[in-house]
Amino acid sequence: MAQFLEPLAQYPISLFDSRELSDEIRQDPFTWTDVFLARINQSPDQIFLHIWPMEKTVILGMLDRQVPDLKAGMQAILERGYKPLVRNIGGLAVVADSGVLNFSFILPDKEKRLSIKAVYMLMVDFIRLLFAETGLSIEAFEIERSYCPGTYDLSIAGKKFAGIAQRRVKYGIAVSIYLSVSGDQALRGEMIRDFYVKGKANQQDTIHYPDVDPACMANLSDLLGLQLSVEDVVEQIQFCLSEWLSNPPQIFAVDETLLETFDRYDHATQQRHSHLHP
């Protein structure tokens, strides 16, 4: 087992797939992240695997709300049939739709021994494990002209297909990733490029926003030469945890206490989103 994957074998894993929720009102993934971080701090002897694909959403970072002309930038999103959402994890805008898989590990760090780098590398090595049988090299370095560029961008042959973020609350850590699995990656890149071009409104940046080049990103399906679906990758995640890390995830049943916690945290979520609807 790769060194950075060891924390995934230390505690039982509970699988929460937000697609199984019947209550659409309670599907905000970032509120669930806060809920699971709170649960980890109460009971730090478990790990949550949160699967959270989304439909046609641009997930904005807190800094994206500060573009000089947010209304114009938003139009570049809305005119393509996507909706905006503000996250409290990670930095800048990313795209979610039926061809993109988002998932998170929420894990305890009671002794505070897991460095920021170690947690990023946990996800890097897990993705490498997922696709090890392809024989292709997955690199981790910043793709400067991608959307939401970062040190731990994942790429194959220089083409970015994933980005990673983490959030820490006391003894809990959430490490999240988006994987562009299939669909129109060029459209995703063009949409975020246009968001920044229109949002900056030819004004000088006080915040450095990326100069997005859609050509520097690609889907896993194209990079691997396979017809992959989001469901294929979800199944591979569960296989890897069960067969290679000997820690099969168990389905997590949401109870009333957890739903009450969600409703409490959801108030802060709605405040973040209110900035998008003046």
Sheet bearing 250-251, strands edge to edge? 139-140, 154-156, 159-169, 172-180, 100-108, 47-51, 13-17, 250-251
Point out the residues that are catalytic. 148
Q: What are phi and psi of 3, to 5 degrees?
A: -50, -45
- The edge-to-edge listing of strands for the beta sheet with 57-60 is 83-86, 57-60, 94-96
Q: What is the dihedral of CA 84, 89, 94, 95, to 10 degrees?
A: -60
Instruction: Check: CB of residue 148 under 8 Å from CB of residue 61.
Output: yes
d(CA 33, CA 121): 20
- Report d(CA 152, CA 205) in Å as an integer: 24
Q: What Cα–Cα distance (Å) separates residue 93 from each residue in 58, 100, 188, 222?
A: 7, 14, 11, 23
Q: Give alpha helix (H) positions in the chain.
A: 29-42, 70-78, 116-130, 185-200, 220-224, 230-239, 256-274
Determine the straight-line distance between the first and last CA of the chain, rounded to whole angstroms: 50
Half-sphere exposure of 104 (CA within 13 A, CB side): 28
With residues binned 3-state (H G I as helix, E B as strand, rest as coil), the percentages for the chain, rounded to 5, are 40, 20, 35
Classify 44 as helix, strand or coil: coil
